[in-house]
Structure 1
């Protein structure tokens, strides 16, 4: 059930939002800046523990969790992860050189290039996922408590009911 949010008409003479809107905007700023900073810290922990840069982890995690074949078209990776085409290619080049993914033409459409996890890529992705889980426990679950963390995740799921699921 969604609560009604109080809305205050701004004072057009000053051009500023009213108090209710200022509170709402402050709450949003707290959420988005906190999530961004926390995400940066968590991904830095993954990099330190597993040696995987944040953009590389995002690609490996997507391939591991979002597809049953553990492969995806390069353009789908770019669109889903909000990477540029060139940025996706650079990350894929690094992952391919490290032996973590392969790139091959699609068997059904030769214009499409598929990125797929290798066995080594699966192992590295799982190690990085375990490093992320440990960092989450330390940085988020321990300070908040498991019930508060679960409640926060449940509330966020109301806004995004179909997020990618790990290892499914």
Structure 2
């Protein structure tokens, strides 16, 4: 039996409206809207983007750790060229500096500057305020704990499944 255009349209509509498609869409829309709120607040109040804050978080997490530009690209899921451009902008803004790795001069290490650490502290407060307002406050404490636990399980499954 050949499918009719109407039959195909009905199947496509059913697939597009499936519970899995809708639930995943809700997750992506919520994450995207939250990221946009964070980015907007950071740009307005601190003059940096959310991605720049993510770099500073990574660099400030373990102060003595040597972090290469390649590690930043991997951690932030950015392309190598995208990371280079981002670090260029951050270096121009005085937030980070590049150093040659003592073990391999081909490797560029990235460190926060004193100005970068100050900007990070200011931006971390803005980030926390927005996350609290739009990610934590809308949920009961128990629901928030369940959500973060579930997200951790999903992240672990994706990380483990990729090996």
State the distance in 2 between where 1:63 and 1:138 align: 26
Q: How has the CA–CA distance of structure 1 residues 110 and 61 changed in structure 2, closer, same or farther, with 3 Å as cutoff?
A: same
Where does the alignment leave 5 or more consecutive residues of structure 1 unmatched?
A: 1-11, 162-168
Is 2:134 the partner of 1:139? yes
State the distance in 2 between where 1:71 and 1:119 align: 16
Q: Within 5 A, what are the aligned runs for 1:4-15? A: 13=3, 14=7
Q: How has the CA–CA distance of structure 1 residues 100 and 71 changed in structure 2, closer, same or farther, with 3 Å as cutoff?
A: farther
Residue number among 57, 61, 68 corresponding to 1:61 in the alignment:
57
Q: Are the aligned partners of 2:35 and 2:50 in contact in 1 as well (CA < 8 Å)?
A: no
State the distance in 2 between where 1:118 and 1:71 align: 14
Residue number among 111, 122, 134 corresponding to 1:116 in the alignment:
111
Q: Which residue of 2 aligns with 1:83?
A: 78
User: TM-score, length-normalised on structure 1?
Assistant: 0.76
Q: CA deviation at 1:27?
A: 0.9
Q: Which runs of 4+ in 1 moved over 6 A?
A: none
Root-mean-square deviation (CA), in Å?
A: 2.5
Bigger share in helix: 2
Count residues with an aligned counterpart.
150
Where does the alignment leave 5 or more consecutive residues of structure 2 unmatched?
A: 157-163
